[in-house]
Amino acid sequence: MREHSDIVIVGGGPAGTALALALADSGWQVQVLEARTDLSRAAYKRTLALSYGSRLILERLGIWAQLQDVTAITNIQVSQRGSLGMSRMQAEEEGLPALGYVVDYAELDHALHSALQATAVEVVAGARVTAIAHTAGYARVQVERDGVVQQLTARLAVVADGGAGSAERIVREYGQHALLASVTTELPHNGCAYERFTADGPVALLPQGNGFALVWTGTPERVGELLALPETEFLSALHQHFGDRVGRFLSVTGRSSFPLVLRYARDVVAPHQVMIGNAAQTLHPVAGQGFNLGLRDAWELAESVRGCGREALGSQEMLQQYRAGRRLDTSASIFFTDLLVRLFSNANPVLQHTRSLGLMALQWLPPAKHMVARRMIFGARG
């Protein structure tokens, strides 16, 4: 590890690695600290829903062409259980080849790290950051590696690891868990993603390969019951919960779950420090905004760094400009996802009727649907 770098990135996940790649030819000395000890091994399997805007960022980083396990989302159907209201967004209406894509987290992680190996960026594996302090001129990063504690300094410390940093965070518990799985169905997906709202929480089917990636939210107790069901009983319960849009559910593999919370930093900047990605905000998976928001954090921070001089790197003025530039996108994404969960995850009959009318209005008002689609694809600045 270098004792001093211009920029130290804490966390070698996709957000931190994307930032490092975006800065690889900038002339800044960049060091990435990653807690995992073996980066040659694939990260845990997980499905990611990338917006078309995120594809553009990955293309600029030279990563998109390296991904093989990619399924295009050409249309999205949004509905509510127990009502007729429904809205459908189509890539063709937006003049795009796809609204988004479903990719494998492990493959994306591997592609990003493989690309970093061809750059001058130093990636240190097995480095766990235990504290970050500040002086007038730099950030001081405390790192533990192989049982040895070291102090590193940097003009700018970027926290891209959700478990690092000491910023005050606002946390909202949803009382829901997400059940993740891969399912196959009687009918082909034809590139369609489904977001179906129920009183227990949303259930999403994302086209992936010849089947779907399932995200089924419910109470912790209900999700625990679903995880324990034999396959045939689980598929029957899913069909009853989701409906007939994809015919019968034929198989399920890889069931797992995790609790759902909204967590975001009260302030993403501190002297010579900034937080991005999951370190800055963790969102409910409804509408699939969290990862895409973090990738935009990385890209726009890289632009801020590239546009500043050496003396300005990590300065209060530079970080305040970055924060101001990201405020609208971040706050709008947090508000939008939180609002969807609060409005749709209940059985209130008045709200159910209003929600149905809202979905119908969205379908029949093209300008409104276009605005929502652009925000989901490219963020609040559309």
Per the CB < 8 A criterion, the answer to whether 280 and 265 are in contact is yes
- Output the average pLDDT for the chain: 92
Tell me the pLDDT tens digit for each residue of 60-111. 999 999 999 999 999 999 998 887 778 999 999 999 999 999 999 999 999 9
Q: Which CATH number goes with the domain that contains 162?
A: 3.50.50.60
pLDDT beyond 90 at 335? yes
DSSP string, 43-96: PPP-EEEEEHHHHHHHHHTT-GGG--SEEEE-EEEEEETTS--EEEEETGGGTS
Tokens read off for 141? 């990063």
Is residue 194 included in any domain, yes or no?
no
Report how far apart, in Å, the C-alpha atoms of 319 and of each of 133, 168, 272 are. 16, 17, 8
Distance, C-alpha 271 to centroid of its chain = 26
Count other C-beta atoms under 10 Å from residue 196's C-beta: 20
Is residue 296 included in any domain, yes or no?
yes
CA distance 138 to 313: 10
Is residue 275 included in any domain, yes or no?
yes
Q: Which ranges of the chain does DSSP label H, i.e. alpha helix?
A: 14-22, 52-60, 105-116, 220-228, 231-242, 290-306, 316-344, 349-364, 366-378
Query: Which pLDDT score, from 0 to 100, does residue 46 have?
Result: 85
Taking the CA atoms of residue 146, residue 147, residue 150 and residue 152 in that order, the dihedral angle to the nearest 10 degrees is 40
pLDDT beyond 80 at 346? no
CA distance 30 to 156: 10
Is residue 153 included in any domain, yes or no?
yes
Of residues 165 and 25, which shows the higher confidence score?
25
Is residue 352 included in any domain, yes or no?
no
Distance, C-alpha 329 to centroid of its chain = 14
Q: What are phi and psi of 74, to 5 degrees?
A: -95, -20
Is residue 89 included in any domain, yes or no?
no
Per the CB < 8 A criterion, the answer to whether 272 and 156 are in contact is yes
292, 8, 100: which is closest to 281 by C-alpha?
A: 292
Mean pLDDT computed over 102-131: 94
Query: Which pLDDT score, from 0 to 100, does residue 81 have?
Result: 86
DSSP string, 23-39: TTTSS--EEEEES-S-T
pLDDT beyond 90 at 169? no
Would you put residue 248 in left (φ > 0), alpha (ψ -120 to 50) or beta? beta
Is residue 375 included in any domain, yes or no?
no
Tell me the pLDDT tens digit for each residue of 174-204. 999 999 999 999 999 999 999 999 888 899 9
Query: Which pLDDT score, from 0 to 100, does residue 377 have?
Result: 92
Q: What are phi and psi of 146, to 5 degrees?
A: 55, 40
Q: Give Cβ neighbours of residue 48 (< 8 Å, ≥ 6 apart).
A: 102, 103, 104, 105, 108, 291
Share of residues in the chain with pLDDT > 70 (%): 97
Query: Which pLDDT score, from 0 to 100, does residue 31 have?
Result: 98
Is residue 62 included in any domain, yes or no?
yes
pLDDT beyond 70 at 165? no
Tell me the pLDDT tens digit for each residue of 254-291. 999 999 999 999 999 999 999 999 999 999 998 889 99
Using a 10 angstrom Cβ sphere, with 0-12 exposed, 13-18 middle and 19 or more buried, the burial of residue 318 is: buried
Count of domains forming the chain:
1
Range(s) of the domain holding residue 336: 4-70+103-169+262-342
CA distance 47 to 30: 29
Q: Give Cβ neighbours of residue 284 (< 8 Å, ≥ 6 apart).
A: 174, 260, 261, 262, 290, 337, 338, 340, 341
Q: Is the dihedral of CA 64, 330, 215, 212 positive or negative?
A: negative
Query: Which pLDDT score, from 0 to 100, does residue 57 have?
Result: 97
- Sorting pLDDT into bands at 50, 70 and 90, what band is 166? low
